[in-house]
Amino acid sequence: MRNNKHFRPTKAIIDLNAIKHNVCQLKKHILPNVQIIAVVKANAYGHGDVEVAKAALDAGASMLAVATPEEALHIRTYFPTTEILVLGYSPVSFATCAAKENIILTVYSKEWVEQVKKHALDKPLKLHIKVDSGMNRIGVTNVEEFLALYESISTSEKLIVDGIFTHFATADEEDEYYFQNQVNRFEKFMQVVPKKPRIVHVANTATSLIKDPRLQYDAVRFGISMYGLAPSEFVKSNLPFPLKPAFSLVTELVAIKKIYPGESVGYGATFTVEEPTYIGTLPIGYADGLIRKYSGQDVLIDGQRVPIVGRICMDQCMIALPTEYNLGENVVLIGKQKNEEITIDEWAKKIDSINYEVPCIITSRVPRFYYKNE
C-alpha cells in the first residue's frame, strides 16, 4: 500500500465501506425526508475529510459540516456545489468569502450581523442561528436576544435565516433530566420564531440514534458514529443498528534484539527485564500521536497481544515480544489481526479519555490510506 511519497510503514487505513455502511444504516433509521449532515470537522475526526465526505455523500448525506472557515474552504475546493455549514465561530472578515463560496455560517450575535451588513456581499449569505439551550458555549441564550438577531438578519436583502439549531450536552447519557430541559428550552425559541427557516436541526449523533424521532426535525448531524464509534457506553448498549469502525493503525517491526535480566529499555530506563526478553522497535512515537501515556498499551503481532514497554519516544516505541520475529512483521496498533482486535475505545480507556480524541490526535505525519471495495 506504499507509494512514492510514503516510505515509512506506519499508516492509518480508513475503510470507506464502513463509512458508507454507517450512513446507509442511519438513513434507514431516521424518518423519511430528514436530511443527514455529515460532520467532517477536524479532518473528519482524523480520518481524512475529503475521502470521508465523498463516501458520506455517496451513501446519502446531503450536507457537510465543519468547525472553521479554513476547513470549509478546503472542502469547497473538492465539492463545488455541496452545502457546507460552519458549526463554529467565523470572523466578520470571512463573511464576504463565505457568501461568494456559498458557505453557510453559524451566527449568534446581533453585533456580528450589523458589522457584516457594512460589507459588500456579492451574493446572499445563508446563516444558521445557534440557540444555546444549555451547553453554555456559543449561541443566543434568551428569546429577546433571539428575536433581535432574527430581525437584524431579516432586514438585510443579502442575509438569509436559513436554519436554526442547538446542541445537546447530555444526549448520550441515560439520565434525561438535563437533556429534556434543553429540549423544552429550544422549543420555546421555535414557538416565537417569526418564520420557520428551511432547516431546523438539533439531533447530534446520540439524539439521532436513540432519542425521540420528532427531534430529528429537518436534518440530523451525524458525527462520531459515522466513523463506527458510539458516543458513549450507554448509546453503545442501545444502538438501533451495528456500527462498523473505519479506522485502523498499523506499522511493522523494524528492529529486534534480545536483552537480559537487569537491562532496561528506553529513556529513563523505566522498564527493566527480569528474564531474557526479545524487544522489538516500531517506527511510531508521540510525534505521530502515540502519546507517552500509551506506554503499557497492547499491540498485535501475529494475532497476539504484546505490550508497549518503556517510555514512548518521539518517533519510535518498543514492545516486549514472546519470541523472535522477522523484521517487517506486521503490527496492528488499532484494528483486527487474526482473531484479536484492539479498538479505539480501548485506547481511549487507556488514557482516561473518549474515543473522539484518539483518531483526532494521530498527526498528519501518519499517512491515511483508503480502502474501498465496491
d(CA 127, CA 107): 6
Within 8 A by CB and 6+ apart from 57, the residues are: 38, 64, 79, 82
Distances from the Cα of 329 to the Cα of 129, 241, 326, angstroms:
53, 35, 6
> What are the residue ranges of helices labelled H in 156-250?
177-192, 205-210, 233-236
What is the phi/psi pair of residue 224, to 5°? Answer: -55, -35
Start-to-end C-alpha separation, the chain: 18
Q: Which three cell numbers stand for residue 1?
A: 500500500
d(CA 18, CA 246): 5
d(CA 297, CA 294): 5
* Active site residue ranges: 41, 267
Distances from the Cα of 114 to the Cα of 92, 124, 161, 333, angstroms:
10, 15, 14, 51
